[in-house]
Amino acid sequence: MPLDLPAWALEDLKKSGLTEATIHKAGIRAVRDAEDLKRLLGFERYNGNPILKATEAYLIPYPLATEPFGRIRLREPLNGAKYLSPASNHVRDTVHLYFPPNQPVEWLKSPKKPLVIVEGEKKALCLAQYAEELEFAVLGLGGVSMWAKAPEWKGVHLIGRRVFLAFDAPDRRENAMVRQEELALAGFLSLIGAHVLVLDWGEDPRKKGIDDLLVSVADPKQEICNLLEKASEVWAFYRELASPQELIHALVDLLRRISKRPERLKVILPAVAQGFNVPLPELKEAISKLWHAKTKEDRERQHKQKEIELLEQNLLIPTWPEPEPTCFYGLAGDFVKAVSDYTEASPVALLLTFLARWGCELGLRFYFPINKTRHFPRLFVLLCGPTGKGRKGTSLRLVREFFPLPDFSATEVSGFLLSGEAASDLFELQEETPPEGNRIFLIIEEFGSLLEISNRKGNFLSGVLRCLWDSEHFKTLGRKKKTEIHQAHLVTLGHTTISDLRDKVRSTDLCNGFLNRFIIALVRRSKLLPFPPPIPEEVETEIKEALLARFSELRNKAPQPFRFSRRAEDFWREVYPELSLERGGLAGEATNRAEAHVLRLSMCLATLDGSLVIDLQHVESALSIWRYCQKSVELIWRLPRKGEHVVSRILTFLKEKKMARLSEIHDMLGRHVKGEDLNKALQRLGELGLIREEKDKTGGRPARIIKYIGPDEGTYRGEI
């Protein structure tokens, strides 16, 4: 069968000593056209140049790859590159090893057969032509650094096996990168348990690779036998070629690739120290120091990259979340619809304030049991919106018009809590305990101040509030005062701004579960009403009578648990896995109590229907409310901080133009940004390694030229 290759490709392959039988068995074929090339690679441009120009190429398939994978050999280099790999190979976890198909695959698992590792597919194919007769196996690397985390290592038996490294011999002497890569690979193989040796054939530039060597000699088989026989122990061989500093950098690169600490090297360091003739303690200390320094650099680089990503995300700020119609179900929804025309307050703020106050009135009479835990209709709500424009206080004042309920209302407390003792004192003021428990509706209109106070050393205010969200019983064992509280039912409504919440919340508030006990919702003015009309008396009366009827009906029922209806139970089983999913990041930490919040909202909605059976419509409405709150939290941590949007706009402008005068940037911003703020934005971009400033001499004052230089390219050389 004729080979599917043009003359230049066939000549190139035969130049590496490959026979037509080897080429056919390897499945090497021509790249048919530009579309074929695009399909094989998965991208259209390489370093800014369109790859579609490079239509003369051939494909070398990788037989062991689990998905279709192969490397492309170009006839003419593109930006200096002779080979291109598919887009998937640029992801660290999808590097592949090349196993020449002209040898039995079982040999990879045979520790009795030596393994030779070369750089390049053609060299691997050339060497493998003699593997069966001389009884050794061959592996090829797509490049000197393309070996870490390759999935094919799992199918290679390395423990106790002799492994020969055959990188290009002249490059070892001329190129520090090649030396460090071979040393790092040697460390990797040694850690697994291989006995690593080096094949070397001198520094003749005409015999760069092992394929060049074998083509140049009369008896390739004998040459291979001689190389194997004269192979050197890797550490002793490199003592003459590499400095101890290169060795240390290579081993630290290895640790970073396999995500291990320096202690992992203890099994191979004695042999390394002996081979390089360096004291073992000094080698250990040097590796530890460099590893810690590089780890610190990595953290700083990752932090810098996250900052850059956030700046770019700020240009794609998601829209303000819109509540779904199903949020406004039942009597709570009727209340919002009835009063919305008469207020600028957010419908979501009205809804959540109403539900929180209703849950406070219900108290401890009804509960949902989960194992030994009782969940009551107890909500902690945090409304987050612009100061003075969010109409958070307006929503509270409107709800107050419909509460308290006559004769048996909860106690409303508004103001600051300075300590955990102050929170517990709220319940000591109650003279007697009704069946609903000691019900307190706590309003914290300056929630940012509470965060500041709870952050003080020795203050356990957040701990007390966490306990009161979880349970109706609470005990403090202080030095001066011991407090024991029973039948406590605290519902909290907090108001804050976006900047206050982001600036004052600590990581501990997220990690210890304080913030995720709150249902957090973004709210803002819904409309402009210069002169809001009063709510008609008949509307107010209708809602109040319905509320009172519901509560009187429920109060006549004996204390008992909630239960799910059959269809609600089926639906809850369906949505529970997603609600229980643990999410990462700041937004994830702040919403990692979803199932409890949805359950409590469902209880409030069911009782507003006068029922203790949670039905499908109650859960669906509660889920709609929670989805709005989840989107709110995600948006809160994505909105740009003060000045960040300016930085983001400058970054985008410079990425497109590559270079601009300061006056051009000023014009782009509409000349609305102060010079001080503009300089701060440029300073931040400079600190992130994204821009460089130069001076352009003119007849008068030198002009400031800002050049985009891209992210810091100082990443450690060994990265794949």
pLDDT at res. 717: 25
Residue 329 structure tokens? 């179900």
Q: Are 498 and 491 in contact (CB under 8 A)?
A: no
E strand map for 497-558: 519-522
Q: Are 22 and 3 in contact (CB under 8 A)?
A: no
Residues whose CB is less than 8 angstroms from the CB of residue 158 and which lie 6 or more positions away in sequence, other chains included: 111, 115, 189, 192, 193, 194
Give the span between the Cα atoms of 276 and 187, in whole angstroms. 13
DSSP 406: S
Q: What predicted TM-score, i.e. pTM, was given to this entire model?
A: 0.52
- CA distances 646 to 320, 503, 672, 712, Å, are 20, 19, 10, 21
Give the span between the Cα atoms of 373 and 561, in whole angstroms. 12
Neighbours of 153 (CB within 10 A): 16
Beta partners for residue 71, in sequence order: 60
Neighbours of 458 (CB within 10 A): 6
SS3 for 482? strand
Neighbours of 406 (CB within 10 A): 8
Neighbours of 151 (CB within 10 A): 14
pLDDT at res. 92: 38
3-state SS, 564-577, equals: ECHHHHHHHHHHHH
pLDDT at res. 157: 93
pLDDT at res. 90: 43
Nearest Cα residue to 16 out of 132, 129, 93: 129
- CA distances 323 to 346, 538, 587, 626, Å, are 11, 27, 19, 10
Q: Are 264 and 191 in contact (CB under 8 A)?
A: yes
Give the span between the Cα atoms of 426 and 429, in whole angstroms. 6
SS3 for 246? helix
- The one-letter code for the residue type at 81 is A
pLDDT mean by block of 10 residues, the chain; 720 residues: 83 91 90 79 67 73 82 81 70 72 87 92 93 91 87 91 92 88 93 93 82 91 92 91 90 86 88 91 91 84 66 56 93 93 92 94 90 89 80 86 71 67 60 71 84 69 79 64 75 87 69 83 87 88 89 87 94 91 76 92 95 95 95 78 71 85 84 80 80 79 84 31
**Which strands make up the sheet holding 373-375, listed edge to edge?**
373-375, 366-370, 560-561
Nearest Cα residue to 145 out of 163, 122, 171: 171
Nearest Cα residue to 119 out of 182, 55, 65, 75: 182
Radius of gyration of the chain (CA): 35
pLDDT at res. 262: 85
Beta partners for residue 101, in sequence order: none
pLDDT at res. 54: 53
Neighbours of 380 (CB within 10 A): 25
Domains recognised in the chain with CATH numbers: 1-90 (no CATH), 91-300 (3.40.1360.10), 325-636 (3.40.50.300), 644-708 (1.10.10.10)
